[in-house]
Structures are given as structure tokens and as C-alpha cells.
């Protein structure tokens, strides 16, 4: 776990090696996992909660004692976004979780600033995908980029992170968020700022990105309408 960009903390892990870190999960989290039909989905859920606990503790180390006592829970709200709780009390913190392939990541911030995080594998995106989910300006950037796989996945990941800040997720059109990926973007293992704009919500959003091997991660910070 580590301090993230802006006013957040983040954590990442390999989904295949996080079983030992799940000992702090609460009974209610384990029951939520047990209700999932697919074993693969249960494993991902549990790993995501474990990594979210790490991010929350990195943000606020005083939570470590509650986590060790299995009192810190990350539970889905009615809108589907995760919230942090202790003993039935909603904490004034924002938490976000994402997974892709073997990677699971989480980030946490203090309200009223909300955090969104998304991780994507750097893979080929079809022309149909680019045309359906990216704006004309983004399509131009991807087309001109020397690394179109990075450009397209970075744009997609940033959109997801911003929409998590707004607590809408993909219920909103991804083209309502525009990402300004520079054509000379190169893969980096450190956080770099990324320009984004929400075309529907006036409050600004800040974003950062980094790559780790075959994955790109984006963290966004801003305000949701409910904040």
C-alpha cells in the first residue's frame, strides 16, 4: 500500500497471491462473497475487499486496529459503489475498487473528495470498440498515437475512474467524459497527471495514470452530486 496521487491512498495486488491478506475481512463481507454464484467472482470480491482495506489503512492508519479486529467493512451501497463502515457506522471516506486479469487495485480518499480507480490490461481494442465508446477527439488521438493500445486503454480506464467518482459507473455514456491523452504518452511506473473533463457535471475532476507491466491504472478525484 502507498500514498497515491492527490489526496488519496492506493493499493494493488496480484489476484493470485492475496489469499493471506484476507484474514481481516468481516463476517458480513464473507457472507456477501458466499452469496456470489461463481467461484471466480467470489475470489475477486474477497481480494478486492482485502486491497480496499489496505488502501483505507494507508489513508488513515488508525483504522488498522479496527481491521485487525474484523470491524472494518467495505460494502456495496444501493447505487453499487463501495462504502467503508465500522460497526454499522458509515465512515466519512470514499473508496473505489477495480480488477482486471490478475490485477486488483483500490484507492481511498477523505470526503467530500471522492475517488475512482480503474485498472485495464494493455490489450488491442477493436475499431468498433473505439468508435462506440470514445469521443471523436479521443479517436483522433488514438489514431495518431505511436502506442494506440496504451492510448485507447488509458482513455477507457480514465472514463471508468471518473464515472466512479460520480457514482454512476457505466450507467452513463462513456462519451460524456473526454480524456486528453497526449500522442507521445509513454509507459511509466510512476503517477503522471492526465487531463480529463466531465461534459455533464461542471465540478472539475483531476486524474493521474501509471503503468505496471501489462496494465494501466487511472485514479480520479473530484466530487459526486451527492457529496
Length of the chain: 227
Could you tell me if 49 and 131 lie in one domain? no
Domain annotation covers residue 227:
no
What's the number of domains the chain is made of? 2
Q: Average pLDDT for residues 27-32, to the nearest whole number?
A: 90
| CB 215 within 8 Å of CB 119 | yes
Q: Sort strands 192-198 and 177-180 into parallel, antiparallel or unpaired.
A: antiparallel
Could you tell me if 124 and 213 lie in one domain? yes
Domain annotation covers residue 196:
yes
Host domain of residue 55: 2-109
Give the tens place of pLDDT for each residue, 195-227. 999 999 989 999 999 999 899 999 999 976 554
State the pLDDT at residue 182: 81
Domain annotation covers residue 9:
yes
Instruction: Give the range among 58-72, 93-107, 176-190, 193-207 with minimum mean pLDDT.
Output: 176-190
Domain annotation covers residue 209:
yes
Q: Which cell numbers in the block locate residue 29?
A: 463481507
Three-state secondary structure call for residue 226: coil
Single out the residue of 123, 142, 121, 120 nearest to residue 131, CA to CA: 142
Q: Average pLDDT for residues 10-27, to the nearest whole number?
A: 77
State the pLDDT at residue 6: 81
| Position 118 pLDDT exceeds 70 | yes
Could you tell me if 91 and 135 lie in one domain? no
Give the tens place of pLDDT for each residue, 138-194. 999 999 998 999 999 999 999 999 999 999 988 999 999 999 988 666 777 889 999
Could you tell me if 28 and 67 lie in one domain? yes
Amino acid at each position: 500500500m502507498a500514498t497515491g496521487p492527490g489526496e488519496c491512498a492506493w493499493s494493488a495486488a496480484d489476484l493470485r497471491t492475496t489469499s493471506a491478506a484476507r484474514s481481516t475481512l468481516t463476517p458480513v463481507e464473507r457472507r456477501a462473497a458466499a452469496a456470489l454464484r461463481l467461484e471466480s467472482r467470489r475470489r475477486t470480491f474477497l481480494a478486492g475487499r482485502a486491497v480496499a482495506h489496505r488502501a483505507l489503512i494507508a489513508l488513515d492508519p488508525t483504522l488498522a486496529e479496527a481491521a485487525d479486529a474484523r470491524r472494518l467493512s467495505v460494502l456495496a451501497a444501493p447505487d453499487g459503489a463501495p462504502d467503508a463502515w465500522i460497526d454499522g457506522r458509515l465512515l466519512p471516506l470514499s473508496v473505489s475498487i477495480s480488477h482486471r486479469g490478475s490485477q486488483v487495485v483500490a484507492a481511498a480518499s477523505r470526503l467530500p473528495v471522492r475517488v475512482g480507480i480503474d485498472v485495464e490490461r494493455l490489450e488491442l481494442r477493436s475499431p468498433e470498440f473505439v468508435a462506440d465508446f470514445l469521443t471523436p477527439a479521443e479517436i483522433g488521438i488514438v489514431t495518431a498515437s505511436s502506442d494506440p493500445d496504451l492510448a485507447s486503454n488509458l482513455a477507457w480506464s480514465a472514463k471508468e475512474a471518473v464515472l466512479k467518482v460520480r457514482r454512476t459507473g457505466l450507467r452513463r455514456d462513456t462519451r460524456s467524459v473526454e480524456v486528453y491523452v497526449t500522442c507521445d504518452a509513454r509507459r511509466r511506473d510512476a503517477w503522471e497527471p492526465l487531463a480529463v473533463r466531465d461534459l455533464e457535471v461542471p465540478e472539475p475532476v483531476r486524474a493521474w495514470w501509471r503503468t505496471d507491466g501489462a496494465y494501466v491504472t487511472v485514479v480520479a478525484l473530484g466530487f459526486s452530486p451527492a457529496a
